[in-house]
């Protein structure tokens, strides 16, 4: 049993980038990106309150997430602070003009040091499913990976996400026999008490919506983590 005893309510997000149009935050694992209707603490509400206080903005604050990451995942989340920024960034995402880099620790062994994974996916009941190529109702999922140093008993990978499907990285890595550490839903044998998985949204590359300049946002690994932190050996085997 892990000796790590903390909850998302005890973890504070970190501001990575802020100007009049954008706000990027390092989300801790265990925290929702947006309100799910459950009343649980979420990053968007936290970020909206940060803007209200830090920028001294009384009343309603405009803030919308440009993209989301799963509750059990940590790392970069980008918010638009103006409607103009939101419209332009949504278009960049639609055209796949933004680059998302993830770092991950996986179980199992990879046959190649780098590769491109292509699958056809669908999802139901909060789980992604790999299907036959071109099957009805499926979407093509593509990612590129290269190996990073081993961390403890887990292989590190850098993921360049080409498409953004539901649970894509989690399902595709599981499909090749390398589930993400902590991700019991997709076959991992090692899990952490707090429920987070070893998937971190490491970098986001975008074009600034008004300045038209490239922006690179990088999120440090979470300090309080059974995977990335100094307590990486404090896990249990299910």
Question: What pLDDT score was predicted for residue 8?
Answer: 43
Rg over alpha carbons for the chain, rounded to the nearest Å, is 18
The 3-state DSSP class for residue 182 equals: coil
In a domain, 90, yes or no: yes
In a domain, 2, yes or no: no
Query: Distances in Å between the alpha carbon of 132 and those of 120, 143, 227?
Result: 6, 17, 33
* Residue 107 neighbours by CB under 8 Å, 6+ apart: 154, 178, 179, 180, 181, 188, 189, 190
Q: CA torsion sign, 62 to 167 to 126 to 134?
A: positive
Question: What pLDDT score was predicted for residue 11?
Answer: 65
d(CA 180, CA 123): 18
In a domain, 163, yes or no: yes
In a domain, 24, yes or no: yes
In a domain, 41, yes or no: yes
Tokens coding 75:
């790392």
In a domain, 3, yes or no: no
In a domain, 1, yes or no: no
d(CA 39, CA 42): 8
H/E run at residue 93: helix 83-94
The answer to whether 103 and 156 are in contact (CB under 8 A) is yes
pLDDT, tens digit (0-9, with 9 covering 90-100), for 65-75 = 999 999 999 99
In a domain, 115, yes or no: yes
Residue 180 is given by DSSP the state B
Question: What pLDDT score was predicted for residue 3?
Answer: 30
Q: Which domain holds residue 158?
A: 8-237
d(CA 162, CA 58): 39
d(CA 130, CA 179): 14
The answer to whether 74 and 104 are in contact (CB under 8 A) is no
CATH assignment of the domain containing 48: 3.30.2350.10
Domain count, the chain: 1
d(CA 28, CA 190): 20
**Positions of the chain with pLDDT lower than 70, given as ranges:** 1-11, 229-238
Q: CA torsion sign, 147 to 128 to 198 to 76?
A: positive
């Amino acid at each position: 049993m892990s000796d790590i005893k903390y909850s998302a309510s005890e973890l504070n997000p970190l501001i990575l980038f802020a100007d009049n149009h954008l706000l990027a935050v390092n989300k801790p694992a265990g925290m929702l990106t947006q309100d799910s209707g459950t009343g649980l603490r979420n990053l968007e509400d936290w970020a909206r309150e940060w803007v209200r206080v830090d920028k001294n903005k009384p009343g309603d604050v405009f803030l919308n997430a440009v993209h989301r990451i799963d509750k059990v995942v940590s790392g970069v989340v980008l918010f638009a602070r103006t409607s103009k920024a939101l419209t332009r960034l949504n278009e960049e995402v639609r055209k796949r003009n933004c680059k998302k880099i993830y770092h991950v620790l996986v179980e199992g062994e990879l046959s190649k040091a780098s590769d491109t994974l292509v699958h056809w996916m669908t999802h139901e009941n909060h789980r992604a499913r790999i299907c036959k190529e071109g099957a009805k109702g499926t979407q093509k999922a593509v990612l590129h990976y290269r190996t990073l140093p081993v961390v403890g008993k887990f292989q590190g990978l850098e993921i360049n996400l080409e498409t953004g499907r539901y649970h894509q990285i989690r399902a595709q890595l599981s499909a090749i026999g390398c589930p993400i550490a902590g991700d019991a839903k997709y076959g991992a044998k090692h899990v952490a008490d707090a429920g987070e998985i070893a998937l971190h949204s490491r970098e986001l590359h975008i074009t600034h919506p008004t300045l038209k300049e490239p922006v690179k946002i990088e999120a440090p690994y979470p300090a309080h983590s059974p995977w990335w932190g100094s307590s990486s050996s404090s896990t249990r085997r299910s």
